[in-house]
Structure 1
Amino acid sequence: MRIITRSLLLTLIFALLFLGCKTKVEKVMVTEANPKKPNIIFIYMDDLGYGDLSAYGATEISTPNMDALAKGGIQFTNGYATSATCTPSRYGILTGRYPWRNKDARILPGTAPLIIDTAQMTVPKMLQGEGYATGIVGKWHLGLGSGNVNWNERVSPGPNEVGFDYSYIMAATQDRVPTVYIADGLVDGLDPDDPIEVSYHKNFEGEPTGLENPELTTMKWHHGHNNSIVNGIPRIGFMKGGEAAKWSDIDMADHFLAKAQQYVKEQKSAPFFLYYALQQPHVPRTPHPRFAGKTGMGPRGDVILEADWIIGEFMKTLKEEGILENTLIVFSSDNGPVVNDGYYDDSEEKLGNHTPSGILRGGKYSLYDAGTKVPFITYWKGTITPSKSNAMVCQLDLLTSLAALVGSEVKGEDSINLLDEFLGKSNKGREELVLEATTRTAFRKGNWAMIPPYKGAVINKQVKIELGNSEEYQLYNLEKDPGQKENLAKSNLDKLQELVTDYEKIRN
């Protein structure tokens, strides 16, 4: 029995040694088969139009750093945001869910509660699950807190509760109060002896406004922007206190750039996701003096030039830190362009021959293509072969596509896996897409666009943009008529019925 026992013991020892060696070999093979996960960065512009980049046809303005992304990556000529306004698009890109499914996903005041459910899957939450550090720098505008926010304490829930380890944001937009930066839920630089009060209903006693005190403003309001004055600029909403924490508008681009660069440097040793949401060219357009007057097109042109420089500096940081070739960059805009959007800033008068919407019809707020078709670029030096793609892609699809890239099984509710398209391996793209503009929706299928009948103004006279409203159905062949000039609804009833049927299936 002793001999048998010893024999069995020796056999077991050799077996264990063999298995141990095999495990090490398998681990090496797994490591070699799965190289380091790439860093992922969204560079998200605000109100940048399809025709605002020279890479997309602009001739009156030069955007060399944005163009470098287009020329070095996949430049999509059929890439869409989900919506023609900012809050819904930001909801869609982070959740992979159509914003029209959420009744609260519309342009929000600065005091709105968070509209992303903390149980909702998001791009940063998915990437956290795959070992990524996650951060946001820049514009948020998806609501904060649960209502009745006390800005003098930690504001929660917010970005940190929906997947971001680090957040450095403005609460809403540059033209809305509170005009302060918020770092991981806390107002940056707040003096506790000078608390902040914010209201979107009535002014605080003794506080000047753009409406009643125009002599205190350095930027004249055109429509809607006539409440509290900060840095000479009248805003939307009323604010009192927090003087030490108020941002400097002309330094905002540089300030966010420094935070984004710092984040990259601190996280470069591990895979990270950065949602870098620039504020340009949204109003108020406040270019740093280095850029003011440089384009001859007024502040709107100047802040696009400033944003292009900012992107160039950010790309230099990625290169200097040695991580450019292991970083996937997605560049896009939240919606189409608008020129006069609340201030007299000469942007309309000095526009000259520049057409922010390019060959497209409409703009911000519109169901026509210029409302939602935006610059859309994927860039990954050494991995993506530069090319142009006419595949229909949407920001919705980034959640599921990036999950496939990093080995996650997460799928967004309305998000499609278009990883091959984003990496330039396929030109197929989406077959159909529902798009939204101020709660109205339209439909794209293949090369066709269908807009249902809607009551209301045909043109938003304040911003001089066609909204897409009509008493009749509209049908356009985008391949032959990208400017949507010829309505084919009456002459192509079969195609119209096909699109209406498919659209109603999704909407219902």
Structure 2
Amino acid sequence: MNQLKTFLLLLAVLTSTKTRVVKALRDPLDRPNFVLFFVDDLGYGDLGFTGHPTTSTPNIDKLAWNGKTLTTWYSGCSVCSCSRAALMTGRQYPRTGIREVLGVVDTLGLPLEEVTIAEQLKKVNYTTGIVGKWHLGQRLAYLPSNQGFDYYLGIPYSDDMGNGKETSCSGDRKSEDPQTEEQDKMKGKPRPPRDNDYAAWYLPLVYQEHNRTRIVEQPLDLTKLAQKYNHFATKFIEDNKDDPFFLYFPFSHVHTTSGNNNKWNSMPNKQYASCSFQNRTKRGAFGDALAEVDWMIGNVYETLQCLGLEENTIILFTSDNGPWTPQHYDGGSYGIFSGEYAGYPWTGKASTWEGGIRMPAFAHWKGQIEPFSRTSQTISSMDVFPTFSHLAGVPLPDGIVLDGRDMADILLQENGQSKHDFLFFYGFCNGYWPRTGVAAVRHGPYKAHFCTSPGLGAYERTPTKYDKYPLLFNVEEDPSETFPICDGNTLPENDPDARAAIERILRAYAMEKATFEYGKIPPLPPGPGEGKGHYGVCCNRSTNCSCESLWDDNFQSRLFNVGSAEHHARYHEHLGEENHMKDTV
């Protein structure tokens, strides 16, 4: 029976894609499709292809090995909103006016005057979709539909910025959980929320389609979130197979939730995964969540293969910032980028040590990018904007300062060179808030720190400033930043190359400070239903932003009926697993 089922499934796939393969034989360089995977709080040491011993990421690893590993990819910032502003615009985040992590009732967001990657690609008729965490403003005016995206499904901010819920995986009624009983009692009467806005209490799941917005559920069910994301992503690709598209997938995973620190939130861990991924890996709850990310990525790539699109699609994979190490087992690993010289353990997220800003990354493009290749050329997430613009054949916007550089040569050529002579990293020299000022710079093999501070979780420590000379490391020879060439006090006596590099760095640093222009976010007037205490995402304020889910079979069949059960089955059958995911949405 299983063999017959497999045969019929393959026959159906081959029949349905017969004409599509012909379509995919167009010139791969003619407005290629773009898929951008952006994992939340994932460290360099968290993946199989970067060396973690117990992580289970077979799909990610396979894509990396069959593409080009990018070993020196830097995020635009070491925290969420700022890194996304840099990614979306190709600009240093302070230029955009985004200077901190945006909250759930913030009145600000990425200015509408900024040109995003999606808006850039719309100029040459790309269809654009985003699934996952946006975190560039939760007000309707700032959501993805007003920033160039045709379709959106996701959480507007981090998944620890509100309470979610979990579906029981044991078959028991969830209300039998005493903590959930308490939570159920609190529905409609939650504690006084931040800024008197009840939208700050429950996590929303937002759907947008051409400027039409719906809140699908609030609070959302984190146990089934990946299934919804998977449906959206694979259906988006299938619906847009005949024309160029841009799919931006900023995962909500593997950022931690508020966990069980809150008596109204019954999450057993600060990590979450679907039932079939819980207790699956040797790495615990974090490993389970990461395995679910791997599963979603595998389904996206399998969809591209089935539709004959892999030769017309470039895939980029990276993370927004380093791991949130104070979360212990629920946080990630920065691997070799430990910042040993710092003398404190929190050198990941929210620091400009390598562990906070140097990300795992690869590029995959069948037929264009050499398999099993790698490069140590300096790359920034700000480079995505000019690179996608170049590959799509759309001119860069006039009158805009771009800090990103076209990295197409690095991706497509064996010896492509970085166009970053000096790559500056902003943040932390003025303390925790706001994150402004140059903290460090990468120049050739050297990394210079003008200021150092620990990451998120140790802000009681005073940042260390280096006023005379920068703290200097050769991070090609010393990626752990253990042995400084210059300690900030005296120039190295026996290293003329390092002395010359410091002189160049100081000149470039002075020029950067003298010419850099900080952006401001112009305030927007209140929109419909907005006002003091009413700026958060809320399904219905009369129920204190707690609503029954609109995500039913009818809603799914109209929007995301790509047949993901087939993807579940094929993926787990490939792994030789019979107990694959059956609780599809």
TM-score by length of 1: 0.74
User: Partner letter of residue 385 of structure 2?
Assistant: L
Contact 2:75 2:359 survives alignment (8 Å): yes
> Among residues 223, 226, 241, which one is paired with 1:268 in the alignment?
241
- Closer/same/farther in 2, CA of residues 487 and 78 from structure 1, 3 Å limit: same
CA distance in 2, matches of 1:356, 1:35: 35
- Closer/same/farther in 2, CA of residues 330 and 460 from structure 1, 3 Å limit: closer
Aligned residue for 2:37, secondary structure, equals strand
User: Partner letter of residue 471 of structure 2?
Assistant: Q
> Among residues 433, 445, 448, which one is paired with 2:446 in the alignment?
448
Matches within 5 A, 1:216-235: 228=201
Matches within 5 A, 1:330-341: 330-341=316-327
**Structure 1 residue 399 corresponds to structure 2 residue 385:** yes
- Closer/same/farther in 2, CA of residues 243 and 46 from structure 1, 3 Å limit: closer
**Structure 1 residue 249 corresponds to structure 2 residue 255:** no
Q: 1:435 maps to what in 2?
A: 425
What is the Cα deviation at residue 340 of structure 1? Answer: 3.3
CA distance in 1, matches of 2:89, 2:412: 21
What is the Cα deviation at residue 171 of structure 1? Answer: 1.2
CA distance in 2, matches of 1:409, 1:38: 16
Higher strand share: 1
Aligned residue for 1:337, secondary structure, equals coil
Aligned residue for 1:340, secondary structure, equals helix
**Structure 1 residue 140 corresponds to structure 2 residue 134:** yes
- Closer/same/farther in 2, CA of residues 325 and 196 from structure 1, 3 Å limit: farther
CA distance in 1, matches of 2:53, 2:460: 22
What is the Cα deviation at residue 482 of structure 1? Answer: 1.0
CA distance in 2, matches of 1:480, 1:465: 31
Q: 2:368 maps to what in 1?
A: 383
Contact 2:29 2:312 survives alignment (8 Å): no
What is the Cα deviation at residue 396 of structure 1? Answer: 0.5
> Among residues 488, 507, 513, which one is paired with 1:507 in the alignment?
513
- Closer/same/farther in 2, CA of residues 505 and 43 from structure 1, 3 Å limit: same
Aligned residue for 1:503, secondary structure, equals helix
CA distance in 2, matches of 1:243, 1:329: 29
CA distance in 2, matches of 1:461, 1:90: 18
What is the Cα deviation at residue 357 of structure 1? Answer: 3.0
CA distance in 1, matches of 2:26, 2:144: 35
- Closer/same/farther in 2, CA of residues 198 and 409 from structure 1, 3 Å limit: farther
CA distance in 1, matches of 2:295, 2:464: 38
Q: 2:573 maps to what in 1?
A: none
Larger radius of gyration: 1
What is the Cα deviation at residue 419 of structure 1? Answer: 1.3
Q: 1:293 maps to what in 2?
A: 279
**Structure 1 residue 127 corresponds to structure 2 residue 117:** no
**Structure 1 residue 419 corresponds to structure 2 residue 401:** no
> Among residues 281, 292, 299, which one is paired with 1:313 in the alignment?
299
Q: 2:66 maps to what in 1?
A: 72
CA distance in 2, matches of 1:334, 1:465: 24
Matches within 5 A, 1:165-176: 165-176=150-161
Q: 2:575 maps to what in 1?
A: none
What is the Cα deviation at residue 166 of structure 1? Answer: 1.4
Q: 1:224 maps to what in 2?
A: none
What is the Cα deviation at residue 370 of structure 1? Answer: 1.0
CA distance in 1, matches of 2:300, 2:190: 33
CA distance in 1, matches of 2:249, 2:34: 11
- Closer/same/farther in 2, CA of residues 340 and 295 from structure 1, 3 Å limit: farther
- Closer/same/farther in 2, CA of residues 447 and 198 from structure 1, 3 Å limit: farther
CA distance in 2, matches of 1:289, 1:34: 39
Contact 1:52 1:358 survives alignment (8 Å): no
Matches within 5 A, 1:4-403: 36-145=30-139, 155-177=140-162, 199-202=193-196, 228=201, 245-284=218-257, 285-341=271-327, 346-347=329-330, 355-361=333-339, 362-386=347-371, 387-403=373-389
481-490 vs 242-251, greater mean Cα deviation: 242-251
Contact 1:61 1:301 survives alignment (8 Å): yes
Q: 2:457 maps to what in 1?
A: 462
Unaligned runs of 5+ in 2: 1-24, 166-187, 205-214, 258-270, 340-346, 429-434, 493-498, 515-585
CA distance in 2, matches of 1:460, 1:277: 22
Aligned residue for 2:152, secondary structure, equals strand
324-333 vs 481-490, greater mean Cα deviation: 481-490
CA distance in 2, matches of 1:33, 1:63: 31
- Closer/same/farther in 2, CA of residues 500 and 417 from structure 1, 3 Å limit: same
What is the Cα deviation at residue 463 of structure 1? Answer: 6.3
Aligned residue for 2:395, secondary structure, equals coil
Contact 2:254 2:289 survives alignment (8 Å): yes
Over the residues paired in the alignment, what is the CA RMSD in angstroms?
3.2
What is the Cα deviation at residue 484 of structure 1? Answer: 0.6
Percent sequence identity over matched residues?
A: 26
| CA deviations over 1:180-207 (Å, ceiling 9, x no partner) | 9xxxxxxxxxxxxx99999533476xx9
Contact 1:137 1:168 survives alignment (8 Å): yes
| CA deviations over 1:317-348 (Å, ceiling 9, x no partner) | 1111221221111111001112334xxx8537
| CA deviations over 1:262-306 (Å, ceiling 9, x no partner) | 111111111000111111210121122222222233322221122
What is the Cα deviation at residue 453 of structure 1? Answer: 3.4
Number of residue equivalences? 414
| CA deviations over 1:353-382 (Å, ceiling 9, x no partner) | xx4433442211111111111011111112
- Closer/same/farther in 2, CA of residues 468 and 315 from structure 1, 3 Å limit: farther
CA distance in 1, matches of 2:43, 2:462: 16
CA distance in 1, matches of 2:197, 2:388: 45
Aligned residue for 1:41, secondary structure, equals strand
286-295 vs 486-495, greater mean Cα deviation: 486-495
Contact 1:84 1:372 survives alignment (8 Å): yes
What is the Cα deviation at residue 88 of structure 1? Answer: 0.8
- Closer/same/farther in 2, CA of residues 384 and 161 from structure 1, 3 Å limit: same
Aligned residue for 2:362, secondary structure, equals strand
Q: 2:501 maps to what in 1?
A: 495
| CA deviations over 1:78-108 (Å, ceiling 9, x no partner) | 1111111111111111101100223433211
What is the Cα deviation at residue 436 of structure 1? Answer: 2.9
User: Partner letter of residue 122 of structure 2?
Assistant: Q
What is the Cα deviation at residue 228 of structure 1? Answer: 4.3
CA distance in 1, matches of 2:109, 2:89: 11
What is the Cα deviation at residue 437 of structure 1? Answer: 4.0
Aligned residue for 2:131, secondary structure, equals strand
